[in-house]
Amino acid sequence: MTGRIQCIYCQEDKAVSAYEKVEHVIPQSFGKFRDNFTLKQLVCDSCNQFFGNSLELALARDTLEGQSRSDFGVKKPEDFKSPGPQSRIRIKIVEGEFKEAYAFLNYSEVDQKITLQPIPQVGFRQRDLGELKYFLLDQIPDKKQLEESGFILQGPKSIRAIGLGVEEVSKRLAEKGISFQCEDEVVSANESQSLLAETQATIDKTIFRATAKIAFNYLAYWEGGDFVRQSSFDQIRNFVRYSVQAPYPLVKVSQRPILADEGTRRRVGHLVTIAWATDRVSIVAQVSLLNLFNYSICLSRNYESERRRVVRGHFFNTHNGEILELGTN
Ligand SMILES: [Zn+2]
């Protein structure tokens, strides 16, 4: 038995040699901090690697927080990596020539900054409104459905393709029974960075698990391995590690500020707090990356073991790399 350690996530007993990597409470992709909070010999290397390759990668590249890192100086614009057209973040242009078209953010070598770039899509003109409505390539309805919904499929400029060539458009539309003629348009839409756009981000289970991991890591950092290995934390650990959903919501997201003195203007940095819930038997955490959204995480519901204070919070200043303890009230 000696020299073996139970991982706080997969709960397997492993030799000390399986714990060589250091798990960071705040993923390193969100900044480096002085006297950083890290877990040693608590998270096994295979869990650490799994988190890095899946949860943390999605959190860094495919969330509004992750994509905001270059705005707040956490990352250089040229290091911006877009998840591409399949992104959880969908941007819709709301004015001008490309009104209603979909775009995504990516780093432009030419402009040396992050710009809006078009997702390959096809627009059809609506008979009544005269406007184009765009469909991503895998969402184009067939001819019959389009006609029934009042789209014009013939005549000049009734169809516009963005981000793909004539041959490709013709082929795609032929599959749907629609013929694409030369008087229809194929445009490349590249000068779009100054356009007004509307952003929609999908915050899915993967993102919830990534934020829940930050909260559970933080608890483990302060309360230690024995405390977080208790079965009272099995729901949250299995959710983070194996995507097992509890019979109640484990993570909720809101835009409520965590700090009592903040409204719409907020300090730039990350926040993590832990407290007893108002029911006095559940332990809840709040996590906010770059102080944008507030993820509320239920770490334990109806906690029944040894009572501890557990209440604390920290502010991770991404500007100067300092970690500040928060006062509680
Ligand atoms: Zn593990």
239-254 per-position pLDDT tens digit:
999 999 999 999 999 9
Q: How far is the CA of 155 from the centre of ligand 1 (A)?
A: 61
Q: What is the mean pLDDT of residues 207-213?
A: 98
- Retrieve residue 201's tokens: 């981000």
Compute the distance between CA of residue 77 and CA of residue 59 in angstroms, rounded to an integer. 17
Calculate the average pLDDT of the chain.
90
Q: How far is the CA of 111 from the centre of ligand 1 (A)?
A: 43
- Retrieve residue 161's tokens: 């393709």
Q: How far is the CA of 103 from the centre of ligand 1 (A)?
A: 39
Q: How far is the CA of 33 from the centre of ligand 1 (A)?
A: 25
pLDDT bracket for residue 282 (50, 70, 90): very high
Q: How far is the CA of 95 from the centre of ligand 1 (A)?
A: 49
Q: Which residues pair with 159 in a beta bridge?
A: 124
pLDDT bracket for residue 305 (50, 70, 90): confident
Compute the distance between CA of residue 104 and CA of residue 91 in angstroms, rounded to an integer. 6
pLDDT over 70 percentage in the chain: 96
Rg of the Cα atoms in the chain: 24
C-alpha distances in Å from residue 72, one per residue of 119, 144, 215, 274? 26, 48, 22, 25
* pTM attached to this predicted model: 0.84
Q: How far is the CA of 202 from the centre of ligand 1 (A)?
A: 28
pLDDT bracket for residue 288 (50, 70, 90): very high
Q: How far is the CA of 44 from the centre of ligand 1 (A)?
A: 4
pLDDT computed for residue 194 by the predictor: 60
More confident residue, 116 or 293: 293
pLDDT digits (tens, 9 = 90+) for 39-77: 999 999 999 999 999 999 999 999 999 989 988 889 988
Q: How far is the CA of 227 from the centre of ligand 1 (A)?
A: 16
Q: What is the mean pLDDT of residues 167-191?
A: 80
- Retrieve residue 219's tokens: 């608890």
For the ranges 128-132, 138-142, 177-181, the maximum mean pLDDT occurs at 138-142
Task: Sheet containing 89-93: give its strands across.
Answer: 113-118, 102-108, 89-93, 197-201
Q: How far is the CA of 233 from the centre of ligand 1 (A)?
A: 15
Q: How far is the CA of 14 from the centre of ligand 1 (A)?
A: 8
Q: How far is the CA of 31 from the centre of ligand 1 (A)?
A: 24
The residue to which tokens 């998270």 are assigned: 43
Between 135-139, 171-175, 185-189, the lowest mean confidence (pLDDT) is in 185-189
Q: How far is the CA of 308 from the centre of ligand 1 (A)?
A: 25
Q: What is the mean pLDDT of residues 65-94?
A: 87
Compute the distance between CA of residue 285 and CA of residue 312 in angstroms, rounded to an integer. 10
Q: How far is the CA of 225 from the centre of ligand 1 (A)?
A: 13
pLDDT computed for residue 190 by the predictor: 55
pLDDT bracket for residue 1 (50, 70, 90): very low
H or E element at residue 23? strand 23-24
Check pLDDT > 90 for residue 260.
no
